[in-house]
Structure 1
Amino acid sequence: MTDLRDWSRHSPYSDPGRHAVLLDDVPTDIPGLSAVARNVIVHYRGSGLELPASTRNDIHSRWLAVMLEIDQERHRKPLAEPRDPTDRVQGCCRDHTLFCVGVLRQHGIPARSLVGFAGYLRPGYNHDHVIVQTYDRETQRWVRFDPEIAEPTETLPTPHDIPAGADASFRTAAEVWQGCRAGSLDPHLFGTGPGSDFAGMWFIHNYVLMQLAHRYADELLLWDGWGAVSLPGGPPDSTLALIDDIADLLIAVESAASPADESRLDALLLQRYGDDERLHPGMSVTQYSPYGDRPLTVPIARGPGHGNSHAAPASGAPDGVSL
């Protein structure tokens, strides 16, 4: 079986740095943890609030250590103590998830992020989304939860234990890609919102790559570009077979029938991720912007040993990272 210790060690992204003591005091039960995540981070476009333009660049804080630094500069108090919503760190589902993953790993609990599409946020549409997977040692299974959903809803009655499967209310990017390629799903119903240009096959294609990266501790921003990531108008024919293959492997490892199968498939997928330069970020990524700002080339350190053995090809925070 995949060594669960791999998922309970920090990646460069989830490492809290000098603010580790703050995470020690955060509860690890799913409702309590999710509440603290929402207290620290406010969704930059989904909150319904008019947030300060002066803090909008919070959304590019790719490292948990930087998010915590921003929070403490503004509040200087434990993470569970209430913050005014407009003074919280601006972020998105990826950031709520990274916060929860960081807390769980800080407590030695296996956790990782899962990239896909949620059908429970808007009727008739499937929004791009990132949720948490944590391993429940008592039931010996990976539990999925959405830290942004505080209470059960009609469309998501179990936000703290979300069902898995291609027909579930949350589908992984790989499941959506496979369904669209087979013609059973409409790709125009998957993206950032109805009528958005950030939807369809090119977007789903990129989210398969994002799902792969997040599984192996490269918990990248949702607007990062690297390798085989496609621009609008794609995806190119040259990468269709590659994404088909990766999607099949991601689905297979998530639904493995036995620990032995999971371990074998995980080793195969991790090797593919590390060996193929189209799949993993290199020394830099292209950071795009949901605000339409010009793309930036952002250098990232790369290399093994950043505290997570699954992160051999993973990127790390640049030396001297600062706000």
Structure 2
Amino acid sequence: MTRLLPSTYTGTYAQVGPLTDLSMYHAHLAHLPNDIADLCRIIQGLLVHVFWHGLDASPLTGDRKRALQMRPAAAKLAAILALDDRPLMIARPPERRLAATSRDYSLLLVALLRHQGIPTRVRCGFATFFAPRRYEEHWMVEYWSDDDHRWVLVDPQMDDTQRAALSVAFDPLDVPRSRFLSGGAAWQRCRSGSLDPALFGSLENRGMHAIRCTLIHDLATLNRIEMLPWDRWGLMLPPDEMLRDADITLLDTVAHVTVGALATPSPEAVAALFASDARLRPPLPVESMNGEALFDLPA
């Protein structure tokens, strides 16, 4: 029997957050489709991943790499249109796409879906399909499907080129849950000893610290705060050996709540945990590269 989520729960994720508000670009978005496959193709024609640009033979200059430091989706969209002001449905050549990470693909898809009132959220975790026996840090998207009465996991970064290069057989528009562990699931499995923390992370950043950072990022995204993957704050900062028992207990609670977010916890429970300890929240107000305030949260 399928358990339906209350409308207040899915409704929370249909609302824009401080980093996903695209209302000022309504005219550019008015004619975009609401089909997930079409939106993913559009996003793939606007962005180029920093680790995959070599496949497109488009070197990334310093100016293009600086786009990675932009947090809001609106700033990303402004930069995309500055590179090429044609309608967004027109795929750009690689050299005129905005440099991006998986966070940016996910952020833009979530922003476009929320703009249309579709419940969706970014999830931070680890994918198993980039390297054998590795859990690579990766951000993806969940959207609520009224037809299937479930959260569907989508990888908006996975275009045809990447899919072929990685020999991915599953549908990126409905990623099997076995191919992605959220930060909370990774924390729980490594804490229990069932998986080796050294298998988790990205580049040189591996182990329990990488898992801890992804866990806290996932809590933030469930509260509609989609920071940069390398943003660090609060409980992300102490080395593992400096964590107190109470800190580890709190992180266990974060893992429990965020893993439960795959099922049916209330948004109030996620928000209450986020508010319960300042070390779980990014320091606010968040500032842009030029020192201007991007957003704040109510006290």
TM-score (norm 1): 0.81
Determine which of 121, 124, 131 is the counterpart of 1:115: 124
Write out per-residue CA displacement over residues 233-271 of structure 1, whole angstroms, 9 at most, x where no aligned residue. 436322222111110121123234xxxxx33xx422311
Equivalences for 1:271-282 in 2 at 5 Å? 271-282=272-283
Go from structure 1 to structure 2 and tell me whether the alpha carbon gap of 1:3 and 1:268 turns closer, same or farther (over 3 Å shift). closer
Contact (CA 8 Å) 1:134, 1:144: kept in 2 or not? yes
Matched, 1:30 2:39: no
Per the alignment, do residues 156 and 94 of structure 1 end up closer, same or farther by CA in structure 2, a change over 3 Å counting?
Answer: farther
CA deviations over 1:71-95 (Å, ceiling 9, x no partner): 1112111111121212211111010
Residue matched to 2:88: 79
Partner of 2:173: 160
CA–CA distance in 2 between the matches of 1:299 and 1:123? 42
Counterpart pick for 1:190 among 200, 204, 209: 200
Q: CA 1:230 to 1:55, structure 2 compared with 1: closer, same or farther past 3 Å?
A: same
Determine the structure 2 residue equivalent to 1:139: 148
Secondary structure of 1:254's match? coil
Please point out which of 53, 66, 70 is paired with 2:62.
53
Residues 1:175 and 1:235: Cα distance change in structure 2 (over 3 Å): farther
Offset of residue 220 of structure 1: 0.6
Equivalent in the alignment of 1:13? 19
Distance 1:189 1:246 in 2: 21
Q: 2:295 aligns with which of 294, 301, 304?
A: 301
Specify the alignment match of 1:320 in structure 2.
none
In structure 1, the gaps of 5 or more residues are: 257-261, 288-294, 305-312, 314-323
- The residue that corresponds to 1:267 in the other structure is 268
Change (3 A) 1:267 1:182: same
Q: Choose the corresponding residue for 1:70, options 79, 85, 105.
A: 79
Q: Counterpart amino acid of 2:18? A: P
- Higher helix fraction: Structure 1 or Structure 2? 2
In 2, Cα distance between equivalents of 1:134 and 1:67: 21
SS in 2 for 1:224: coil
Does the 8 Å CA contact 1:227/1:280 hold for their aligned counterparts?
yes
Instruction: Determine if the alignment matches structure 1 residue 202 to structure 2 residue 209.
Output: yes
User: In 1, are the aligned partners of 2:14 and 2:117 still within 8 Å (CA)?
Assistant: yes
The letter for the 1-side match of 2:19 is Y
Name the amino acid aligned to 2:150: R
* C-alpha distance in 1 between matches for 2:285 and 2:297: 12
1:4: Cα distance to partner?
2.0
Name the stretch that deviates more: 95-104 or 70-79. 70-79
Does the 8 A contact of 1:225 with 1:286 survive in 2?
no
Of 129-138 and 29-38, deviating more is: 29-38
Separation in 2, partners of 1:242, 1:46: 37
1:235-274 counterparts in 2 under 5 A? 236-238=242-244, 239-256=247-264, 262-263=265-266, 266-274=267-275
Question: Can you list the C-alpha shifts for 1:122-157, whole angstroms capped at 9, x where unaligned?
Answer: 222111001011111112111111011134664451
- C-alpha RMSD of the superposition: 2.3
Cα shift at 1:277? 0.7
The residue matched to 2:235 in structure 1 has which SS? coil
1:191 aligned counterpart, secondary structure: strand
CA pair 169-298 structure 1, distance change in 2 beyond 3 A: farther
Matched, 1:102 2:111: yes
| Counterpart in the other structure of 1:319 | none
Describe how 1:220-231 pairs up with structure 2 within 5 A.
220-230=227-237
Q: Which amino acid aligns with 1:301?
A: F
What's the CA shift for 1:303?
2.4
Moved more, 113-122 or 14-23: 14-23
Distance in structure 2 (CA, Å) of the matches to 1:156 and 1:132: 19
Provide, for residues 27-79 of structure 1, a one-character-per-residue CA deviation record: whole Å limited to 9, x for no partner.
Answer: 22222111111111111233324212222100011001111111111211111
Give how far 1:278 is off.
1.1
CA contact (8 A) 2:22 2:74 kept: yes
Opposite residue 83 of structure 2, the aligned amino acid is R
The CA distance in 2 between the partners of 1:124 and 1:131, in whole Å, is 20
Q: Measure the CA separation in 1 of the matches of 2:30 and 2:169.
A: 30
